[in-house]
Structure formats: C-alpha cells, structure tokens
Structure 1
Amino acid sequence: MDWVPVVFITFKVLVFGTGMFLAVKWHYDQGKKGRHAERRAMMRTVGKVVAVFVPTLLILLFVTFAVGKKLGLT
C-alpha cells in the first residue's frame, strides 16, 4: 500500500480534529461571557449582512434574466 495517502489522511484528521476541538472550546468559553451585548452585536451584524446580501441577490437575479433574454433563452 502506498504510504502517501496514509500520512496525508492522518495529518488531515489531526489538523481538523484539533481545529474542531479549539472551535468548540472557544464557543463554550464565549457562552460564559455576557450574553446581552453579544446578542445585540450579533443582531446588528446580521442586519448588515442582510442589507448587503438581499440587494446583491436581486441585482444578480436581474442580470441573469437580462443575459438569458439577450441570448434568447427566455
């Protein structure tokens, strides 16, 4: 059996396992902190993301239909 996939898969499992452990630990530690300010900040960020995402989605939809119409697809 070739040793390269074994080494790379083992390395990948170790890296992702360590990353997942640290991510869970960080989120657990963040959950112990004050929740009110964190929740307000999260809602503000979600609002900003939605304010950017929805118009971008509508522009992309318009451009897609315009190109489709120009190509005679609709």
Structure 2
Amino acid sequence: MEWFPVVAGTFKGVALGTGMFFAIKWHYDQGKKEQDKALEKRAVLRAAGKVAAIFALSLLGLGLLTFFVLSKLSLDLGLT
C-alpha cells in the first residue's frame, strides 16, 4: 500500500476541518460583535437623549426663574 494517499488525505481532512472551524468561529464572533455594537449604539442614544432632556429642562427652569425674579423686582417685562 502506498503511504502518500493516506498522508495527503489525512492532511487534507485536518486542513479543511481546521478551516471550517475557524470560519464558523469567525462568523459567530462577527455576529456577536454586531449585536454588541447595536447595544452600545442604543446606550449612547439613550445617554444623549437624557443629556438633551436635562439641558431643555434646565433652560426652561432658568427662563422661569429669570421671569419670576424680574417680576419681583417690578421690572417691565413687556415685549413692546
């Protein structure tokens, strides 16, 4: 019996098996990475929304505070 077909066939099987394993692992890792990116993007958008809401509320509060302080000081608040 010749030894070359046995060795070459074994090498081919090991090489293809290893390649398939790493290809499947790579695709699985890419799917997890995209899922993590989506979760990270959602967290960033949520944080940006909170910052925008806090800014809008503080701006409204400052405007109302200014209005009431100027009213107490009897300053003219008319637009005309």
| TM-score of the aligned structures, taking structure 1 as reference length | 0.48
Q: In terms of Rg, which structure is larger?
A: 2
| TM-score of the aligned structures, taking structure 2 as reference length | 0.45
